[in-house]
Amino acid sequence: MTSTPVSRPDEVRRYNRSSLLRLLHVGGPVTRATLATELGLNRSTIKTLVDGLAEAGVVEERVPRPGRGAGRPSLLVLPQPQAAVVLAVDVQVEHVAIALVGLGGLILGRNSWNLHGRTGEPGEVITHVLESTAWLAADLGLKPVACGISVPGVVRRSDGQVHEAPNLRWSEVALGARMSAGLGVPVVVGNDAELGALAEHLRGAARGASDAVFVSADIGVGGGVIAQGSSLRGSGGYVGEIGHMVVNPHGRACYCGNVGCWETEVGEAALRRALALPQDSPRGAIVVELRELGQDAAASLARLGEFAEWLTLGLVNVVNLLGPELVVLGDLFTALPPALLDRVGEEVRTRSMVSRAVGGVRIEKSSLGADVKLLGAAEAAFEGVLDSV
């Protein structure tokens, strides 16, 4: 059914208000003049909106620090973080992090803990998140109005059902429903790489890009795609599993039933093999070893040559299939030696037809560090909140 674009004045006002809030939330403090230009509204409409939001305590206006220009400085409109607080949860294979994130994307408080291999117990994880949230909220005197959760697995976005999260050993966990019952607020559950892509797109290396892919290596390898400015999802809202693209048909068996998945060739275990580290060595040892190796460009290219080839091959496929303007590499990939990343970027640009067409895809490191999925989970929660602040 097609709907008719009829708009009543109160609908227009609500639409303008949430557009303005979204701009402040993502872009940070701006002047009324900039708001008017960006939203295509006249100054008196902006004044009414900003006054209303200031009265409700959602924004504040402040004199900016004196600049070089002469004349009276324009007032800056700032989002008030406490006006809307969401809970962000990042469930990883080895640890869980939670944070209360305010309007504007500011982390107001956080907590994290190690899972000590007890990932197979979703009930325990849920209980711990709920308890830890209660303490953190009480401590800060804040109450989250929504929750976003990042999970490394195949997630149904509509109701937060975790279909399969193999590295957590979770299968068919009604995470959305259970967390929502425990918290009493709406809960959005997303695939970790999808949420990483969202965070990079709104606040990180892919800011302003219309078409970007975020690929991150943890124990697994996952990818999230921004296509024409929005998250790309497939049937039923499920996000693709880039890590289970087969790159090496003669490679190692993957738990998913294939052999030579990208994940088996460039994930954490593959990095340990390439670095000749024991498979039970901690993740920190990989990072230390990579940093050290990074001091010597020639040595890093020699030792990680085969690893680099599989990384390149997977990226060529991603670029040829999706045609992004840039690929953002996250997690362990950010620790790779710079010389190796340069080489991989060059190879991808040379070997991908689509990169040649778009004038050269960029391969960049994540700029959000370890918080990328937590920030993405917060943004997923904010999506439903900004219309009703």
- Name which of 144 and 260 has its Cβ closer to a copy of itself: 260
Question: Taking the complex as a whole, how short is the minimal distance between the CB of residue 38 and a copy of itself, in angstroms?
Answer: 6
Residue in 90, 194, 200, 211 binding a copy of itself, rule: CB under 8 A: 211
Query: Which residues, at least 6 apart from 257, have a Cβ–Cβ distance to it below 8 Å?
Result: none
CA distance 326 to 269: 26
Specify the length of the chain in residues: 389
Residue in 164, 185, 283, 384 binding a copy of itself, rule: CB under 8 A: 164
What are the strands of the beta sheet with 170-173, ordered from one edge? 154-156, 161-165, 170-173
Residue in 32, 110, 128, 156 binding a copy of itself, rule: CB under 8 A: 156
- Name which of 142 and 256 has its Cβ closer to a copy of itself: 256
Nearest CA to 46 out of 36, 59, 60, 56 is that of 36
**Contact status: 252 vs a copy of itself (CB under 8 A):** no
Binding-site size for a copy of itself (CB under 8 A) equals 67
- Name which of 265 and 331 has its Cβ closer to a copy of itself: 265
CB 95 within 8 A of CB 113: yes
CB 35 within 8 A of CB 23: yes
**Contact status: 233 vs a copy of itself (CB under 8 A):** yes
Q: Select the span of 6-14, 86-94, 289-297, 338-346 touching a copy of itself (CB under 8 A).
A: 6-14
Q: Select the span of 2-10, 74-82, 141-149, 369-377 touching a copy of itself (CB under 8 A).
A: 2-10
**Contact status: 253 vs a copy of itself (CB under 8 A):** no
Angle at 102 between CA 333 and CA 173, to 5 degrees: 60
Question: Taking the complex as a whole, how short is the minimal distance between the CB of residue 159 and a copy of itself, in angstroms?
Answer: 13
**Contact status: 316 vs a copy of itself (CB under 8 A):** yes
**Contact status: 42 vs a copy of itself (CB under 8 A):** no
**Contact status: 278 vs a copy of itself (CB under 8 A):** no
Beta-sheet pairing, 85-91 with 95-102: antiparallel
Residue in 32, 163, 178, 283 binding a copy of itself, rule: CB under 8 A: 163
* Amino acid (1-letter code) at residue 116: H
Is residue 353 classed exposed, middle or buried when 0-12, 13-18 and 19+ CB atoms within 10 A define those classes?
A: exposed
Q: Select the span of 144-152, 226-234, 333-341, 370-378 touching a copy of itself (CB under 8 A).
A: 226-234
Q: Select the span of 8-16, 105-113, 179-187, 374-382 touching a copy of itself (CB under 8 A).
A: 8-16
Q: Select the span of 129-137, 330-338, 344-352, 377-385 touching a copy of itself (CB under 8 A).
A: 344-352
Residue 281 main-chain phi, psi, to 5 deg: -70, 150
What is the chain's alpha carbon radius of gyration, rounded to the nearest angstrom? 22
Chain residues binding a copy of itself by CB under 8 A are: 1-7, 11-12, 15-16, 19, 23, 37-41, 154, 156, 163-164, 210-211, 223, 227-228, 232-236, 238-242, 244-250, 256-258, 313, 316-318, 320-325, 350-354, 356-359, 361
